[in-house]
Structure 1
Amino acid sequence: MASKFTELAIDCADPVGLARFWCAVLGYEVQDEEHGLVTIGSPEVPEGRNRPGPVPPTLTFARVPEGKTVKNRLHIDVNPTDRDRDEEVRRLLDLGARHADVGQTGEESWVTLADPEGNEFCVLGTRCP
């Protein structure tokens, strides 16, 4: 038996605001909110933890007092589903993302952005409908 990836925990200053941003990015919805924690997940898999096989992971945003100070050691990659990469980048920038410089050369097939709290993530060049 192996483990199943079900949740990614993200420390932040504004769990509600960051959850709202990532809901818009991923098409997720808020599943739980209490005491400085907000959990979001796919509306299509509400009971994914209880079924065998892979499921879209939930994201849990937890309020912490310290701020982000260095480059992430772990980040999220997203694939556009209904538009090309550059159109998706424009949409995400309109939602509050910003370009992030983590040492790219300009030859990459992905674009590195940061969410409203500075957490880096990549928009990949391939579309996954």
Structure 2
Amino acid sequence: MPSRIAVIAIDAVRPELVAEFWCEVLGWRVVADDGEVVSIGPADSTWPTIDIAAVPEGKVVKNRLHLDLRADGATTQQELQRLLALGARRTEVGQAPDSSWVVLADPEGNEFCLLSRSVQEVIDETPRPEDSSR
């Protein structure tokens, strides 16, 4: 049996701030907070969760791992505006000028991407089993 992702870990100087940002972005909630690590997850308690752990140092280099998001229930442009209003900021990590995604950073500089197509656009383009029988 293969492994499953249980937790995605993010280091932060201010875990509460980063947790609040990601809860708003994903529509999640805080599921645990021990003062050192704030855990957030979906309302239905499915995996994975994100643990935001307190560390003394600030971010100094580009992330080696990041999240890619798709707009869900809104256009990509609407979602970009929402993310910026929540405190995300555009960032440059060496992406091509004509990239189909937007690179953003959370309040502590952790990069993530907003992909060009929404969830609905991807679903609409996904072949359905009944389509393959013809």
Assess same fold via TM > 0.5. Answer: yes
Is 1:115 aligned to residue 106 of structure 2? Answer: yes
Larger relative contact order (Cα-Cα within 8 Å, sequence gap ≥ 6): 1
1 CA distance for matches of 2:95 and 2:2?
Answer: 35
Identity among equivalent positions (%) equals 47
2 CA distance for matches of 1:28 and 1:20?
Answer: 9
Where does structure 1 differ by over 6 angstroms across 4 or more consecutive aligned residues? Answer: none
TM-score (normalised: structure 2): 0.86
* Structure with more of its chain in helix, by fraction: 2
TM-score (normalised: structure 1): 0.89
User: How many corresponding residue pairs?
Assistant: 120
Q: Rg bigger for which structure?
A: 2
Aligned partner of 1:38 in structure 2 is: 38
Structure 1 position 106, deviation (Å): 2.1
2 CA distance for matches of 1:60 and 1:21?
Answer: 13
Is 1:23 aligned to residue 48 of structure 2? Answer: no
2 CA distance for matches of 1:85 and 1:108?
Answer: 14
2 CA distance for matches of 1:97 and 1:60?
Answer: 19
2 CA distance for matches of 1:14 and 1:111?
Answer: 25
**Structure 1 counterpart of 2:85, which letter?**
D
Tell me, which stretches of 5 or more residues in structure 2 are unaligned? 121-134
